[in-house]
A and B are shown apart, each in its own frame.
Chain A
């Protein structure tokens, strides 16, 4: 393709700070999401290591109870909202236009705005550690504990404002991506030819679009309860703490699928490539993903079995929760069917993908267990639940993200991550994760509650706690190996060809890394596996017409400016209302500048 470059507009290759700050290129935005998401992943990991260090031995004295509460709250918030979600968004930003054969997303500036608002919210939430203490009411912030009376510090206010800002960012990104998938597909790319990763992310976007407004309302009510004298969640004044739980879980259960579905999509891309055969049961996997999402809106009360729901709701939510195992099982069998009879090529990406299936299945099985209210009553708030969520989120979501990193790294940078270090990285994470989280099943069943900062030594929990802590350090070493691999690889010469893995999807039809305009010629899609179809039928990629002008959206600083306005808005709510006013003025000014800015 390099030969054709002369016919195209000179691509601006310089990479100054200003080009990054004003970029509207989905690939640069994806890279920024990826780097910041991974940085927060490291922060969340350090928080987890501190927690595990404190719990390594009975009566630990490393940190005090107050700091411990902040750490487990921020560990959850960081991993969910600042690490896993942006890492999924990173891949989607980078590959959505490439995989559907578009030059960019539908609204490039809105895309940049989503990132800057995300960064504003993430920095605001994390800065709470410095300014008077982090949120310490759990990531669920159950009322009435979250009331001003019981948690008087500013931590919970950081939680409310931070999540409102992050939610705004996710909503804007999801709207943008949903429009892009629906309306920007290349010729021939029908909905049932979309790569599974795109399908799963589309489902994720709709989950967010439809669940974020509910948590927004709940957060607004909490904000009003804490600052403007309402009593939505104060039982002594007629309020109802259970309302918070309902609104929170109407959002937060779909949120769980927001975290896992991207990884399911990534694995569905990786498996066929390295098994050298098309994905088994494409439509079943797609419909299973949609079914998980729809059912996911009808199960939220299974988080609340112990709040005293009536019998009928218990039965209904128990049944709908168990029903989710069906589409999930369909996916797992389809992945196994993809592997079956394939000529499997095992590299690091494939290791992570296969590990995903195994570990996610374990997490899924323990999940079905607490779909049963009596069982759940035993397991509620014990380490059994901690074990379950970490098998799903670390063994599932994070393993899928690592599979995606190793799989797409050559496309994004033109370089291959080192395979030897990669396999070391894999085994350290795989072994470390099982040593850390499997004993938590035992701890939970022997009654160890979640979120306690210390425990006595005569309870029989000493051994497994020590084992879990050792495992968490192994995980830490595994992440360090990955970082070494990353920085070492980035010093190497880019050698990757367009399609080094022999993959089937459109992102591999362009150069590695892709040019700023993604494709010299918008590809035409004739099959679900377009590159394999073209290869088997001897169809050549069309050559670019000489002299064709490819229009790219110009850079803009208004998204950055508006992100700054949103940051001031949030800081103002937490400190001085004058800052809020300033933020509002900046936002209005940016909207105007944005609207009047020429885009062509």
Chain B
């Protein structure tokens, strides 16, 4: 939403950067603390569960690795979308955006499947501390992916309009890209800290 706030008036940029990019970077700094708090809650509750299942009972590392590759691939397509937007190649941008959205949907599909399977194995929000902190952490990451999908979807639909995304297309896509890549790096941390480290 802030991304569309056009630079107005005759103001000059005293730091020499675009307001909207700066806003997104500071917002991502804030998001670091959001996910940091969730991850540390998860770590603090490690070993505090009173009943099973514990991580080793439910985690399916090969499956999660697969979804990690999918999200990594979406980062690649996202960077291509930004490249296409910056180099006035709208077709490349739209295709890459579409590929990013599809990859994001697949990732969410994996997550829904994972949550469902864990539920069937007896893990839910109230089971134990692992369940509570795991579902809230990965659930909010998934929510961020979902918001990102809405964001990218809006970009894609917007780019189909007669005027496309307007004169600032490159910046709009770049900001969306920053958000998407951030969601990816959060997953990089979650994958290592939550899934891989025993």
* Chain A contact residues, CB within 8 Å of chain B: 102-104, 106-110, 171, 175-176, 178-179, 182-187, 189, 209-214, 216-218, 220-221, 224, 228-232, 237-240, 243, 247, 250, 522, 550-553, 588, 591-592, 594-597, 599-600
Contacts and interface: CB of A to CB of B under 8 A. Distances in A.
B92 interface: no
A183 B129 contact: no
Interface of B: 1-6, 8-15, 17, 19, 22-23, 26-27, 29-31, 33-34, 37-38, 41, 44-45, 48-50, 124-126, 128-129, 131-133, 136, 140, 150, 154, 158
Contacts of A224: 125, 132, 136
A239 B129 contact: yes
A217 B37 contact: yes
Given A210-B29, A214-B37, A247-B37, A231 B9 contact: no
Given A110-B2, A240-B44, A243-B41, A103 B136 contact: no
Contact of A182 (B14, B44, B50): B14
A221 B134 CA distance: 12
B26 A178 contact: yes
A250 B34 CA distance: 12
B30 A171 contact: yes
Contacts of A211: 33
B37 A594 contact: no
A217 B44 CA distance: 14
Given A109-B5, A183-B19, A229-B125, A210 B33 contact: yes
Contact of B3 (A179, A229, A595, A600): A595
Given A102-B11, A107-B23, A175-B26, A218 B158 contact: no
A575 to B, nearest CB: 22
Nearest to A551: B9
Contact of B44 (A102, A185, A220, A243): A243
A214 B33 contact: yes
Contact of B154 (A212, A247, A522, A592): A592
Nearest to B30: A209
Contacts of A104: 8-9
A213 B41 contact: no
A592 B48 CA distance: 45
A176 B20 CA distance: 10
A550 B17 CA distance: 22
A106 B11 CA distance: 9
Nearest to B150: A588
B2 to A, nearest CB: 5
A522 B14 CA distance: 13
A229 B37 contact: no
A185 B34 contact: no
A232 B26 contact: no
Contact of A176 (B23, B33, B128): B23
A230 B126 contact: yes
Given A218-B37, A220-B136, 16 more contacts: A104-B8, A179-B22, A182-B22, A184-B11, A184-B19, A189-B14, A210-B30, A210-B33, A213-B30, A214-B34, A230-B132, A238-B128, A238-B129, A240-B44, A550-B10, A596-B4
Given A232-B41, A232-B133, A107 B5 contact: yes
Given A103-B11, A228-B125, A209 B19 contact: no
26 contacts: A103-B10, A106-B19, A109-B5, A110-B5, A175-B2, A175-B27, A179-B23, A182-B15, A184-B11, A186-B14, A209-B30, A214-B37, A221-B41, A224-B125, A231-B126, A231-B129, A232-B129, A237-B128, A238-B45, A238-B50, A238-B128, A522-B10, A551-B10, A591-B154, A595-B3, A597-B4
A187 B48 CA distance: 57
A240 B133 CA distance: 12
- Among B9, B19, B27, residue most surrounded by chain A Cβ atoms (within 10 Å): B9
Nearest to A211: B33
A217 B10 contact: no
A588 B153 CA distance: 12
A206 to B, nearest CB: 8
- Among A211, A220, A247, residue most surrounded by chain B Cβ atoms (within 10 Å): A220
B33 A106 contact: no
Contacts of A176: 23
Nearest to B140: A220
A107 B5 CA distance: 6
- Among B14, B17, B38, B158, residue most surrounded by chain A Cβ atoms (within 10 Å): B14
A240 B48 contact: yes
Given A213-B30, A214-B33, A239-B129, A599 B19 contact: no
Contact of B8 (A108, A171, A216): A108
Contacts of B128: 237-238
A230 B17 contact: no
- Among B33, B45, B49, B133, residue most surrounded by chain A Cβ atoms (within 10 Å): B33
Contact of A185 (B6, B14, B41): B14
Contacts of B38: 217
B1 A595 contact: yes
A595 B154 contact: yes
A187 B12 contact: yes
A551 B136 contact: no
A449 B22 CA distance: 48
A396 B21 CA distance: 37
B34 A216 contact: yes
B12 A551 contact: no
A595 B41 CA distance: 36
B158 A595 contact: yes
A221 B8 CA distance: 40
Given A183-B15, A184-B14, A220-B136, A599 B125 contact: no
A594 B1 CA distance: 7
A185 B12 CA distance: 8
- Among B5, B34, B48, B158, residue most surrounded by chain A Cβ atoms (within 10 Å): B5
A175 B23 contact: yes
Contacts of B12: 187
A183 B22 contact: yes
Contacts of A250: 37
A567 B37 CA distance: 26
Contacts of B13: 183-184
Contact of A231 (B11, B27, B132, B154): B132
Given A185-B14, A213-B34, A224-B132, A238 B26 contact: no
A72 to B, nearest CB: 28
B37 A599 contact: no
A189 B15 CA distance: 11
- Among A211, A228, A231, A552, residue most surrounded by chain B Cβ atoms (within 10 Å): A231
Contacts of B11: 102-103, 184
A383 B128 CA distance: 39
Contacts of B5: 106-110, 599
Nearest to B34: A213
Given A209-B26, A592-B154, A595-B3, A221 B136 contact: yes
Contacts of A592: 154
B101 to A, nearest CB: 17
B55 to A, nearest CB: 15
Contacts of A238: 45, 48-50, 128-129
A9 B45 CA distance: 62
B19 A217 contact: no
